[in-house]
Amino acid sequence: MLQGIGITKHFGGLAALSGVSFQVAPGEIVGLIGPNGAGKTTLFNIVSGLIRPTVGDVRMGEMKITRLAPYRISRLGIGRTFQTPRLFPHLTALQNVLMGAFFRQRGEASLRTREGAGGEAMRALEFVRLGDRAGFPAALLPPGGRKLLELAMVLATRPRVLLLDELMAGLNPGELQLAMRLIRRVRDERGAAVFWVEHVMEAIMGVADRVVVLHHGEKIAEGSPRIVAEDPRVLDAYLGERAA
Ligand SMILES: Nc1ncnc2c1ncn2[C@@H]1O[C@H](COP(=O)(O)OP(=O)(O)O)[C@@H](O)[C@H]1O
Ligand SMILES: [Mg+2]
């Protein structure tokens, strides 16, 4: 469904990505891992239309989406969260999700009305267990709550593919367990595919169907979590980072 073909991105003299290809099939949870600076967020920025690749293409189904504006990519059903949540701090949790449901909507008639968007927003908040915080200003939520709120915002757009950029960083152990269950439920109950950057290895290894590994902008491994975790190139990449 979502596909990247030979993606290269140069920032001046730095090759942040070199010829990276990937696929995310419907209903699949694909982990994207790699040491800091590997190019994971850059790949998400390209898929979501924030930046353009130097070389290569992104496709959603048969459609080439490489040069579409971010709002058009969002309306095709590709939603994302950011490493640092992008919220409206002075609006309530519910109003934040309404921004997602109403302004980033994919054109379903049910979301175009205030009532339709409101119902969808409340359901998304309840899904991430923030229903009882609907009237709280986003700025007053704890860090984990802000990350879950951003997840609700993107879920309210009803994505067909959900890109998660380090959703679990900064979550407490209870929130982490909740987030792992939510990612599975996003797939099982909402039918979305998930493309997921995470440093919390136990979460990736426990939830992802398949893992793609980037290192210095190159794809160095891909496969089932168990096989990738034992791949010498992957171990070297992570050990190298720790030694540095
Ligand atoms: N807008 C940018 N301008 C210049 N360099 C960038 C930019 N964005 C990312 N980079 C560089 O590209 C490399 C990959 O970064 P990033 O994709 O954020 O890595 P990751 O998310 O895997 O930690 C890093 O060396 C980073 O400094
Ligand atoms: Mg990153």
DSSP secondary structure string for all residues of 206-220: HH-SEEEEEETTEEE
| Cα dihedral sign, 119-193-164-70 | negative
Q: Do 35 and 141 reside in the same domain of the chain?
A: no
Q: Do 173 and 239 reside in the same domain of the chain?
A: yes
Give the pLDDT of residue 107.
54
Query: Could you give the angle at the alpha carbon of 112 between the alpha carbons of 109 and 116, nearest 5°?
Result: 85
Q: Which residues form the domain of 206?
A: 2-77+159-243
- Among 157, 180, 215, which residue terminates a domain? 157
Q: Do 65 and 18 reside in the same domain of the chain?
A: yes
Residue nearest atom 16 of ligand 1, based on CA coordinates: 39
Q: Does a structural domain hold residue 22?
A: yes
CB atoms within 10 A of CB 8: 16
Q: Ligand 1 center to residue 12 CA distance, Å? A: 11
Q: Do 149 and 169 reside in the same domain of the chain?
A: no
Give the pLDDT of residue 85.
79
Give the pLDDT of residue 116.
66
Q: Do 146 and 41 reside in the same domain of the chain?
A: no
Q: Do 71 and 168 reside in the same domain of the chain?
A: yes
- Among 105, 125, 157, which residue terminates a domain? 157
Q: What is the CATH number of the domain that holds 238?
A: 3.40.50.300
Show the ligand 1 pocket: residues with CB < 6 angstroms: 11, 14, 16, 34, 36-42
Residue nearest atom 4 of ligand 1, based on CA coordinates: 11
Q: Which ligand is nearest to the CA of 84?
A: 2
Q: Does a structural domain hold residue 17?
A: yes
pLDDT digits (tens, 9 = 90+) for 17-69: 999 999 999 999 999 999 999 999 999 999 999 999 999 999 999 999 999 99
Give the pLDDT of residue 136.
95
Q: Do 166 and 45 reside in the same domain of the chain?
A: yes
Give the pLDDT of residue 162.
96
Look up residue 180 and give its two tokens: 């792992």
Q: Does a structural domain hold residue 206?
A: yes
Q: Does a structural domain hold residue 46?
A: yes
Give the pLDDT of residue 217.
97
Compute the distance between CA of residue 152 and CA of residue 160 in angstroms, rounded to an integer: 14
Letter string b/e over residues 99-123, b meaning 16 or more CB atoms within 10 A of that residue's CB: bbbbebbeeeeebeeeebbbebbbe
- Sequence-separated (6 or more) residues with CB below 8 Å from residue 4: 20, 21, 22, 23, 43, 46, 47, 56, 57, 58, 59
Q: Does a structural domain hold residue 169?
A: yes
Q: Ligand 2 center to residue 33 CA distance, Å? A: 10
Tens of pLDDT along the chain (244 residues)? 999 999 999 999 999 999 999 999 999 999 999 999 999 999 999 999 999 999 999 999 999 999 999 989 998 999 999 888 789 999 999 999 998 776 655 555 555 566 667 788 999 999 999 999 999 999 999 999 999 999 999 998 889 999 999 999 889 999 999 999 999 999 999 899 999 999 888 899 999 999 999 999 999 999 999 999 889 998 888 877 665 5
Number of domains in the chain: 2
Q: Do 92 and 149 reside in the same domain of the chain?
A: yes
Q: Which ligand is nearest to the CA of 212?
A: 1
Q: Do 107 and 216 reside in the same domain of the chain?
A: no
Q: Do 56 and 120 reside in the same domain of the chain?
A: no
- Among 108, 136, 157, which residue terminates a domain? 157
Q: Do 32 and 93 reside in the same domain of the chain?
A: no
Q: Does a structural domain hold residue 214?
A: yes
Q: Which ligand is nearest to the CA of 33?
A: 1
- Sequence-separated (6 or more) residues with CB below 8 Å from residue 190: 155, 158
Residue nearest atom 5 of ligand 1, based on CA coordinates: 11
Q: Does a structural domain hold residue 63?
A: yes
- Sequence-separated (6 or more) residues with CB below 8 Å from residue 183: 29, 164, 167, 194, 196, 207
Q: Do 11 and 52 reside in the same domain of the chain?
A: yes
Helix (H) or strand (E) holding 154: helix 143-155
Give the pLDDT of residue 119.
82
- Sequence-separated (6 or more) residues with CB below 8 Å from residue 214: 17, 20, 32, 33, 34, 38, 39, 40, 43, 220
Q: Does a structural domain hold residue 82?
A: no
